[in-house]
Amino acid sequence: MNIKKVVITAAGRNQHLLPLQTLVDCDGVQKSALRIIIEESISAGIEDICIVICPGDQTAYKAAAGKVPGKLQFVEQTAPLGYGHALYCAKDFLAGEPFLHLVSDHLYLTRQEQRCAQQLTENARLQKCSISAVQATREAMLPYYGAIGGKTVSHEQRLYAVETVIEKPTPTEAEQRLIMPGLRTGHYLCFFGMHVLTPTVIDILGEKLEQAQGKASVSLSTALASLPERERYLAFEVSGRRYNLGEKFGQLAAQLAFGLAGRDREEVLAQLTDVLAGRLGDVEKCRAN
């Protein structure tokens, strides 16, 4: 598989401003979340970048992306027909080629030499099929993610053959249909916000959208649930962590993680110590009074 294109979806009406937020990256440089995501994709050998946006957002997104190597293209999702429709909007850009897909409100960190997107694309090239990055996620976080069920292909390679996909399952659904061998109790394999997909996924999305006739939104998970019926579909447990900017305190958690993993680690630790010391001092004063 020759994976040279990436589609970054950023058209969610409630989340389209999240990628424009500024953080300090591991290199100590202030960057937009979008810029960090683009650099993640470029690390995997991506040359052409397509960002799916809300109408009117191009100027802000172009500024947030900065100068990028290769080609940068924007596509507008003109109707709020769901995440799957947003991805389908990039059909002409993809021109029938396999591609990397990232969501715009997740950031990634790993202790490995290879970044998360590199790990995923390397596995997709070896396996020659669609492959979704997943992460073991505690049950309380199920309302935020799609989750998968299936069989282990290789414990050593952390690969799974996907049989079931459920978008934001309830704990009962997860317990009944998504139990995976080897995971801790109360944990499930949830999407990482990163996929390598074949053109078949775009075909399935087109079919789902035609059936919906603009009367209902279409999710990517719905298409991925149908994919194992058409072709081989795997999940890969990435060595790394995702940080969802859309969660409560999501940006704070991401910034702390990047700060502690980067060149300014000692400064971040010192500031955290000062904050905690001040908080403990306030508690002691309250007790004294």
Residue 70 backbone phi and psi in degrees, to 5: 80, -160
Least confident of 162-166, 176-180, 229-233: 176-180
Q: What is the mean pLDDT of residues 26-46?
A: 95
- pLDDT (0 to 100) of residue 191: 95
pLDDT, average across residues 260-283: 81
CA–CA gap between residue 135 and residue 279 (Å, rounded)? 34
Calpha distance 117→63 (Å, rounded): 23
* Domain total in the chain: 1
Residue 175 CA to residue 162 CA, distance in Å, equals 16
Whole-number Å distance between alpha carbons of 63 and 247? 25
pLDDT for 98 beyond 70: yes
CATH number at residue 33: 3.90.550.10
Q: How far is CA 3 from the centre of its chain?
A: 17
Report the range of poorest mean pLDDT among 23-37, 88-102, 110-124, 254-268.
Answer: 254-268
Residue 69 has pLDDT above 90, yes or no: no
Q: Alpha-carbon distance 235 to 120, whole Å?
A: 9
Task: Tell me the mean pLDDT in the region 84-89.
Answer: 96
Please give the residue range of the domain that contains residue 272: 5-288
Assign 289 a pLDDT band (cuts: 50, 70, 90): low
What is the average pLDDT score of the chain?
92
Is pLDDT at 285 greater than 60 in this prediction?
no
Beta bridge partners of 196: 100, 131
Kindly give, in sequence order, each residue whose CB lies less than 8 Å from that of residue 64, ignoring residues fewer than 6 positions away: 19, 20, 32, 34, 35
Query: Percentages helix, strand, coil for the chain, rounded to the nearest 5?
Result: 40, 30, 30
Q: Band the pLDDT of 283: cuts 50, 70, 90.
A: very low
Q: What is the pLDDT of residues 116-136, one digit of tens each?
A: 999 999 999 999 999 999 999
**Residues 102, 107, 109, CA angle at the centre, nearest 5°?**
115
Indicate whether 189 pLDDT > 90. Answer: yes
pTM summary value: 0.91
- Give pLDDT tens digits for 150-176: 999 988 889 999 999 999 999 999 999
CA distances from 148 to 19, 120, 158, 169, 187 (A): 26, 17, 14, 10, 12
Weakest mean pLDDT among 2-11, 110-119, 125-134, 210-219: 210-219
- In this structure, what are the phi and psi dihedrals at residue 229, rounded to the nearest 5 degrees? -75, -20
Question: Which residues are within 8 A (CB) of 110 and not within 5 positions of it... i.e. 6 or more apart?
Answer: 116, 119, 238, 239, 240, 241
Is the per-residue pLDDT at 12 higher than 70? yes
First and final C-alpha spacing in the chain: 68
